């Protein structure tokens, strides 16, 4: 029998798929992030399940063996509070454990806030990355934002309403003219969209912020043909060093993004890390 990962509605119950309903009806066990949320959903769908097990970061190691053992002989449905199981919760660890144990896995297509927010943003999606939740401290947040901005791709983030203003303030400290899109309460009755610079978006959000929040940051790096100023290279090196990357990693990433020769970048990064401002030769 397979271990089946079942996406659940983000807010609007009508977003549940017919396959998701079928699997939840057939399942002998529903594995849930929060059993209370799962029971509420199942009641709304008029589905009776014999067993609901809790699976979260705090108990994952303890309950994983039992989940896999049951999945060998019964249909086990894995859910999360909202969206795709395994995105910003320990579900991906359960997939890895099931593969090692030889337990078949299925993942049903369905709602995911990350991809929906990416499309809603209107930013380029030729390349984009999901960054999850920003760190909780200001210094760590700024380092993560600086590193993400150097990748020249749209980045997608989740954040709690209590920390969204602080996150936008830290983004503004790193890149005040970055373009940001924020969605609050996606698919719910009071869904709201905000876009602009970090500072202008923060000013638009009602106080106190409430509900689920996700946001996208537009690609920030200039095109390689325009990267001909020493200041651009130095700023990029500093941002990656501040994010905790090693000198060799900085040189490799910047060379891949068109900032110059890898050996020269290594020398410049080593010099800047030592506190000197040695410029690169003109390319």
pLDDT of residue 232: 67
pLDDT, tens only, 221-262: 644 444 444 556 887 888 888 878 889 988 887 876 667 778
Residue 282 has pLDDT above 70, yes or no: no
CATH for the stretch 113-217: 3.30.950.10
CA–CA gap between residue 197 and residue 178 (Å, rounded): 6
∠ CA 162-166-170, rounded to 5°: 155
3-class DSSP assignment, residue 221? coil
**pTM of the entire predicted model:** 0.71
Options 2.30.30.240, 3.40.1010.10, 3.30.950.10, 1.10.3720.10; CATH of 3-107: 3.40.1010.10
Neighbours of 12 (CB within 10 A): 13
- The CA–CA distances, whole Å, from 237 to 147, 241, 249 equal 10, 6, 10
């Amino acid at each position: 029998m397979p271990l089946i990962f079942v996406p659940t509605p983000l807010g609007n119950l009508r977003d549940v798929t017919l396959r998701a309903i079928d699997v939840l009806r057939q399942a002998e066990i529903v594995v849930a992030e929060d059993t209370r949320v799962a029971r509420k959903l199942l009641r709304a769908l008029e589905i009776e399940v014999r067993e609901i097990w809790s699976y979260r970061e705090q108990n994952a190691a303890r309950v994983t063996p039992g989940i896999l053992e049951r999945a060998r002989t019964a249909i086990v449905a894995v859910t999360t509070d909202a969206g795709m199981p395994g995105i910003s919760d320990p579900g991906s660890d359960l997939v890895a454990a099931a593969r090692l144990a030889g337990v078949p896995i299925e993942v049903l297509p369905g709602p995911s806030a990350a991809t929906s927010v990416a499309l809603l943003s209107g930013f380029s999606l030729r390349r984009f990355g999901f960054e999850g939740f920003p760190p909780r401290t200001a210094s760590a947040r700024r380092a993560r934002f600086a590193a993400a901005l150097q990748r020249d791709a749209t980045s997608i983030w989740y954040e709690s309403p209590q920390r969204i203003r602080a996150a936008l303030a830290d983004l503004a400290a790193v890149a005040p003219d970055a373009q940001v899109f924020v969605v609050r309460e996606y698919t719910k009755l009071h869904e709201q969209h905000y876009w602009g610079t970090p500072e202008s978006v923060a000013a638009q959000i009602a106080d106190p912020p409430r509900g689920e929040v996700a946001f996208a940051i537009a690609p920030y790096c200039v095109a390689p043909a325009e990267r001909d100023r020493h200041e651009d290279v130095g700023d990029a090196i500093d941002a990656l060093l501040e994010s905790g990357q090693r000198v060799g990693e900085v040189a490799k990433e910047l060379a891949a993004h068109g900032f110059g020769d890898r050996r020269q970048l290594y020398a410049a990064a080593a010099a800047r890390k030592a506190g000197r401002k040695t410029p690169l030769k003109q390319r």
